Amino acid sequence: MKYKWLPVFDVNNCSGCRACMPYCASGSLNIEDGVVSFKNPEACLSDERCVQECPVGGIHMEWLPLNSASHLGSWSDQKPQMQNCS
């Protein structure tokens, strides 16, 4: 199993404002039923650009398991330990 550094979207707080969409260089984001949907995690560049653009703080990054032939973005063979920011 491989892990990829990917954005996670809080669909319960998403207003569907589309502010994140222009910052997704891989065009992986869409709006469906008024909330963001993440269509193509394989193509994500893991660059975190969408995170800063969300006005409701509704996007964060996590290492998530993903099977893909793509090498785009940041990958790890094991789930990295998250560092505490203190």
3-state helix, strand and coil shares in percent for the chain, rounded to the nearest 5: 15, 30, 60
Among 53, 68, 70, 72, binds ligand SF4 (CB under 6 A): 53
Among 8, 15, 22, 25, binds ligand SF4 (CB under 6 A): 15
Tokens representing residue 75 in the block? 């990958």
Among 4, 5, 6, 14, binds ligand SF4 (CB under 6 A): 14
Cα(24)–Cα(46) distance, integer angstroms = 10
Residue 6 touching ligand SF4 (CB under 6 A): no
Residue 51 touching ligand SF4 (CB under 6 A): no
Given the rule CB under 6 A, which residues bind ligand SF4? 9, 14-20, 36, 53-54, 56, 58-59
